[in-house]
Chain A
Amino acid sequence: MAVATTPIRVLIGKVGLDGHDRGVKLVARALRDAGVEIIYTGLHQTPEQIVATAIQEDVQAIGLSIHSGAHNSLLPRVLELLKERGAEDVTLFGGGIIPDDDVPRLKAAGVQMLFQPATPMQDIVTFVKGLQVER
Chain B
Amino acid sequence: MSEAAADRASKRENVVTMAKQVMAGDVRTVARVITWLENQVPVGSAVLKLLRSPVQRAMVIGITGYPGSGKSTLIDQLITAYRRLGNTVGVLAVDISSPLTGGAVLGDRIRMQHHADDPGVYIRSMGTRGQQGGLARATRDALQVLEAAAYDVILIETIGVGQNEIDIVAVAHTVVALTTPGLGDDIQAMKAGLVEVADILVVNQGDRDGADSALRHLREWHTPVLRTVAVKGEGVPELIAAIAERQRVHDLVQVSR
A residues apposed to B, CB below 8 Å: 1, 4-7, 9, 28-29, 31-42, 45-46, 48-49, 52-53, 55-58, 85-87, 134-135
Contact = CB atoms under 8 A, between A and B. Distances in A.
B17 to A, nearest CB: 15
A29 B106 CA distance: 11
B208 interface: no
Nearest to A135: B35
Contacts of A9: 35
Contacts of A7: 97, 102-104, 127, 129
Given A1-B130, A41-B110, A53-B109, A31 B103 contact: yes
Given A38-B105, A134-B4, 19 more contacts: A6-B38, A29-B105, A32-B104, A32-B105, A35-B103, A37-B104, A37-B106, A37-B127, A41-B109, A42-B110, A45-B116, A48-B117, A49-B113, A52-B116, A57-B31, A57-B125, A58-B31, A58-B34, A86-B28
Contacts of A42: 107, 110, 113
A56 B103 contact: no
Contacts of A46: 117
30 contacts: A1-B102, A4-B129, A7-B97, A7-B103, A7-B129, A9-B35, A29-B105, A31-B103, A32-B101, A32-B103, A32-B105, A33-B103, A36-B103, A37-B103, A40-B105, A41-B110, A42-B107, A42-B113, A45-B116, A46-B117, A48-B116, A49-B113, A53-B113, A55-B31, A56-B116, A56-B122, A56-B123, A57-B31, A135-B36, A135-B39
Nearest to A40: B107
Contact of A57 (B40, B97, B124): B124
A15 to B, nearest CB: 12
Given A53-B113, A58-B32, A87-B28, A33 B101 contact: yes
Contacts of B117: 46, 48-49, 52
Nearest to B98: A32
Contacts of B127: 7, 37
Contacts of B97: 7, 37
B182 interface: no
Main secondary structure of the interface of B (DSSP, over half): mixed
Given A40-B106, A53-B113, A134-B4, A1 B28 contact: no
B99 interface: yes
Contacts of B122: 56
B7 interface: yes
A38 B103 contact: yes
Contact of B102 (A35, A49, A57, A58): A35
Contacts of A29: 105
B42 to A, nearest CB: 13
Contacts of B31: 55-58
Interface string B103-138: 111110110011011000011110101100000000
A37 to B, nearest CB: 5
Contacts of B109: 39, 41, 53
Contacts of A31: 103
A135 B40 CA distance: 11
B101 A35 contact: yes
Contacts of B124: 56-57
B70 to A, nearest CB: 16
